[in-house]
Chains A and B, each alone.
Chain A
Amino acid sequence: MSNVVLATPEVPFESRGLDKKQTWWERLRKGDEVVHLITLAGGWSILVITGLLVQHLWVYSRLSRHAFGWHFLVDSTWDPVNGIFGAWPFVYGTVVTSLLALAISIPIGLGSAIFLAELAPRKLSNALTFLIELLAAVPSVIYGLIGIFLLIPVLFNVVPYVQKYFGWIPIFNGTFYGVSYFSASIVLSIMVVPFIISISREVLISVPVSQREAMMALGATKWDVTWRAVVPYARQGIMGSIFLSLARALGETMAVTMVIGNVAQVSTSLMAPGYTIAAVIANEFTEATGDLYLHALIELGLVLFVVTMIFNALARLLMLTMKGHEVVG
């Protein structure tokens, strides 16, 4: 290629000012620097707020941390009168209700999303999605009321039959008072299902036509296209919607406290009343007499924060291993 010579520009490189470095002020005036600063500030503010939050929870729970140490997590006694505090019933209640709520809402939410994205006529789908997104905006206290006045009376009719036939399974036995882990889980699942539906529908719709056609061209039925091409392609987005729902369920306060019974105990039976972390903080904060009581409640907040983090980390890990599995399998 030695016979090719690049044309030299008529104007020398230096005299066109291209070699000069722009000053900071020039870059600021051109806008790049402004955008950079604004977005940087936004990004840092998230870290700062989270950091301050943890620091506060840590500092203002010191009395309780010093008094109970690690036992706080595993101790089941919650006795404000005698100043004995253990978080286990609340952690248990939070985890059980959230997981059960997800177990109920994932099949319903995913099924609805697949129907709305793949099967329903587009106009019907858009109208229904609008209604579903409205559901997500209903205040949680309303869901609590629905739980008390609508769900619990229905459960009083249903649960005796369940107990008659399945009562031998530990999770269904015991006296049913209406308020229970089970009621709270159902209310929670109703609350999170709109998130799963609307986000999953969006990602399912955005799966490229090329993926669908490639699958169809292999002789796949409509269901095969949906289940083996569209859903796997949208898997990450669907998982995202589930994480969001989980976070919502773990932190939900009002609706849960109205239907869970607010009893600080650990029961195998889902039909028994219980308590969650968010609910106990909301209920007892105003009546917390004494610093130790207050610090114990704040430590509960710290525990909730950690539980949420652990769940998110586990979910991410699950997704990574699933990804690895996909490729290996």
Chain B
Amino acid sequence: MKPFDLSQLSRAHEVRFASDEPADEKLPWPQFTVADLNFFYGPHQALKEINLIVPNKRVMAFIGPSGCGKTTLLRTFNRMNETIPGTRVEGSIRLGDKDLFSFPATRLRRVVGMVFQKPSPFPKSIFDNVAYGLRLDPSIRRNEIADRVEKSLRRAALWDEVKDKLHQSANGISGGQQQRLCIARALAVEPEVLLLDEPCSALDPISTAKIEDLLFEIKDLCTIVIVTHNMLQAARVADYVGFFLNGELIELNRAKQIFQNPEMQQTQDYITGRFG
């Protein structure tokens, strides 16, 4: 038996940054423009005076301790919060150059797709799960559906694993596969934006890595906003990172900047684990 060195236990992960763009990079057009946004659950104010721009075709991550409002903001982007009674929004959000609240909510949610924390496949076959969103739209022809299901499953890097069991129940595949299935389901309707609410928090590291790879693949197709508790994940996948604390946006910057040289003391404290 060989003794081992303490440094082996604590060897730091080598972080690979998603974005190494130069500082003078011109940002693409804004996908979301949030101005003076306040959000209330009854008397409790969950978001305070949020101002931010989410650039198009980039990955933006929201980090922060539990209850800091990052998920609330995410769910405001596709207006899922409206379904909770007693909530109130103040301020404005623009999707592209249009007011987010001028869309019918059902149409908006086809443009702004969402994947949730817990894999939530429908108790149907794998094929039907992906086809579900397509079938909601009567303008999509029946014979198109099979092609689009295959395309989405390929994009979600799941096709090779499930192509032989498309008609088996989606509850029979692993949690990581289920989550990728949910991503495929969201991608099938070809959204402009994909919102991900802690998509890997229930998954093992290998499944997490697969989902992160997949996000790299699809970021040319749509804007991605991801909420995560895992700072390494934010560092790995995001071009931009927003740090939230107690309902306020403390700092928003290039991922590398946030993790290597944050401007705010609170950000520094959070990412170094001084509080959480």
Residue positions of A touching B, CB distance < 8 A: 2-5, 208, 210-211, 213-221, 224, 228-229, 232-233, 326-329
User: Which residues from chain B contact A328 at a C-beta distance below 8 Å?
Assistant: 125, 167
Residue positions of B touching A, CB distance < 8 A: 1-2, 4, 78, 80, 83, 106-110, 113-116, 118, 120, 122-125, 128, 132-133, 136-137, 167-169, 182, 185-186, 189
User: Which residues from chain B contact A326 at a C-beta distance below 8 Å?
Assistant: 123-125, 128
Q: What 6 A-B pairs come out closest when comparing CB atoms?
A: A219-B110, A218-B133, A217-B114, A210-B120, A219-B109, A214-B120
Known contacts A3-B4, A232-B122, A327-B125; is-contact A217 B78 (Cβ 8 Å): yes
User: Is the Cβ of B109 less than 8 Å from the Cβ of A218?
Assistant: yes
Known contacts A213-B120, A232-B123; is-contact A3 B80 (Cβ 8 Å): no
Q: How far is the CB of B132 from chain A (nearest CB, A)?
A: 6
Of the A-B pairs whose beta carbons lie under 8 Å apart in the complex, a sample of 17, sorted by A's number, is: A3-B1, A210-B116, A210-B118, A211-B122, A213-B83, A213-B120, A216-B80, A216-B109, A217-B109, A217-B114, A218-B113, A218-B132, A218-B185, A218-B189, A219-B108, A228-B136, A328-B125
Bound complex: CA of A214 vs CA of B122, how far in Å?
A: 9
Closest to A3 in B: B2
Bound complex: CA of A188 vs CA of B136, how far in Å?
A: 38
User: Which residues from chain A contact B168 at a C-beta distance below 8 Å?
Assistant: 327
Q: Is the interface of A mostly helix, strand, loop or mixed?
A: helix
Partner of A219, one of B83, B106, B116, B182: B106
Q: How many A-B residue pairs have CB under 8 A?
A: 77
Bound complex: CA of A5 vs CA of B123, how far in Å?
A: 46
User: Is the Cβ of A217 less than 8 Å from the Cβ of B124?
Assistant: no
User: Which residues from chain A contact B78 at a C-beta distance below 8 Å?
Assistant: 217
User: Is the Cβ of B136 less than 8 Å from the Cβ of A217?
Assistant: no
User: Is the Cβ of B106 less than 8 Å from the Cβ of A220?
Assistant: yes
User: Is the Cβ of B4 less than 8 Å from the Cβ of A214?
Assistant: no
Bound complex: CA of A30 vs CA of B4, how far in Å?
A: 46
Bound complex: CA of A3 vs CA of B115, how far in Å?
A: 43
User: Which residues from chain A contact B118 at a C-beta distance below 8 Å?
Assistant: 210
User: Is the Cβ of B80 less than 8 Å from the Cβ of A219?
Assistant: no
User: Which residues from chain A contact B114 at a C-beta distance below 8 Å?
Assistant: 217
User: Is the Cβ of B122 less than 8 Å from the Cβ of A233?
Assistant: yes
Bound complex: CA of A211 vs CA of B123, how far in Å?
A: 9
User: Which residues from chain B contact A220 at a C-beta distance below 8 Å?
Assistant: 106, 136
Closest to A220 in B: B136
